[in-house]
A and B are shown apart, each in its own frame.
Chain A
Amino acid sequence: MGRQLSAEWIKLRSLQATWLMVGLGVIGIVAQAIIALVTVKDHDSQELALGVMSGSGVTLLIVALLGVTAAAGEYSQKSIITTYTVTPKRWRVLLAKTIVVAGVALALGLLSVPLSRVVAAIWFAFGEGSWNASFGDAVHYAIGIMIAYVGFSVVGVMIGTLARSPALGVGIAFGLLVMIDPLLGSFSFYSEYSLSGVSQTLLDPDNRQSNQPLFGSAISLLALYAIVLAAITRTVESRRDVQG
């Protein structure tokens, strides 16, 4: 498995698109913090600190799209033929790719709260306000954000593997995560199970709305969705032709 992980990491890091998306993800984190600093009136409140620390929805979408493009790009470029020739067990390739993309998403998630805190510190240094959140709050947010980013990156890899085309995969992921799921989430029967509800709970756990799942439920739901999608992807991938 170490070989596949190494190969997938080399493949991911050797594409400029990866670093462009990581850069956009970092910008998303900074933008989220700045938006909270600009919009929250009370600059000494806990509300401001939590708003600054909350995870970026843009970055969440970007890690999902990173997964989509990393997986689908291999098929559209046909380099998957080489990959499967060297590693005929396709599930190993899928697992390695998922772990590597999830690792990048985890790194972004790990960076989110400290980077937001730095942005706030710089903001406070040039204006008024103070940080009003505990270390426990920061850990809570960091865990939620990391889980959300990792989960959505896994979903992205699966969508990309199933779609086999970056354009189609991005379209599906964008349509699902930005349009269909939030739309369905507006209905009460689905809102507690929606990916948008799950992401809102994980990205901003202390501001959970009544129609969103609890923190633990959100983690379980995201894990369930990712595992089911991974199982479907593995089954489909093991049965279809490489160039099908």
Chain B
Amino acid sequence: MGTVLAGGAFHDRRSARASLHATAAAAGLPTSRIGEVLEAVGLGDAPNRHVGAYSLGMRQRLSLAQALLGDPDVLILDEPGNGLDPAGLKWLRDTLRGLAHDQGKTVMLSSHILSEVQETVDVAVVIAEGALMSEFSLAEADAGQHVVIARSPKAEELQAAVERGGEAKVARSGDELRITGSSASRVGELALEIGVALSELRAEHRSLEEHYMELTQGRGR
């Protein structure tokens, strides 16, 4: 198991290579991996620089390199995106997804930046006040929870048509309908069938943050 429990927890006056060397020695891992993991996280050109000269993002990369030293099947990462710039976040996202999908590793990460989590993970586990609140696949959650926004001069007629199906729920505000339990394509088909013109039709996906707030009702403060 590889872990990043406190990203960037390295001695400022020690080089990246020496830091990983010490960890490899303590864990009984081959030192030949040090160069490989530094290359893998993009620090291959600065292995002998003192960690104190690294940016926060570089320290995060070094933390990930350290976690990868033992080529673990399972990675546990605590706030791995802290301090990363947008390019670094994209790199982290691609790297973690690559580790999971291409190399078959199990990657678990904890983060309070839910928008970033939503972009990265396949399955989310919501924990609030130490209790497991929910565990769900983001793909499934997204499919079942999105809202279809439809605008039409004849919104009332469209609402009635949608509600006749029985499964969808509709909330109307002026010419705007907010429909849950249906899809944008189905609403479009219905509009065509009853001859109602649409000025707007889109699916609004619920964010993980909204999902989290609903599950925890703000308890996770």
Contact = CB atoms under 8 A, between A and B. Distances in A.
A85 B3 contact: yes
Contacts of A8: 22
Contact of A86 (B8, B13, B26): B26
A79 B51 CA distance: 11
B192 to A, nearest CB: 60
B25 A3 contact: yes
Given A77-B10, A77-B12, A79-B10, A3 B27 contact: yes
Interface residues of A, number: 22
A237 B165 CA distance: 67
Nearest to A13: B18
Nearest to B21: A10
A81 B9 contact: yes
Nearest to B18: A14
Nearest to A17: B13
A7 interface: yes
Contact of A7 (B10, B14, B22): B22
Contacts of B25: 3, 6-7, 10
Contacts of A78: 6, 8-10
Interface string A48-82: 00000000000000000000000001100111011
Contacts of B108: none
Considering residues A6, A74, A86, A87, which has the most beta carbons from chain B within 10 angstroms of its beta carbon? A86
A86 B28 CA distance: 10
21 contacts: A6-B25, A7-B26, A10-B18, A10-B22, A10-B25, A11-B14, A11-B18, A11-B22, A14-B19, A14-B22, A15-B14, A16-B13, A77-B10, A78-B6, A78-B10, A79-B11, A79-B19, A81-B6, A82-B9, A83-B26, A86-B27
Interface of A: 3-4, 6-8, 10-11, 14-17, 73-74, 77-79, 81-83, 85-87
Interface of B: 3, 5-6, 8-15, 18-19, 21-23, 25-28, 66
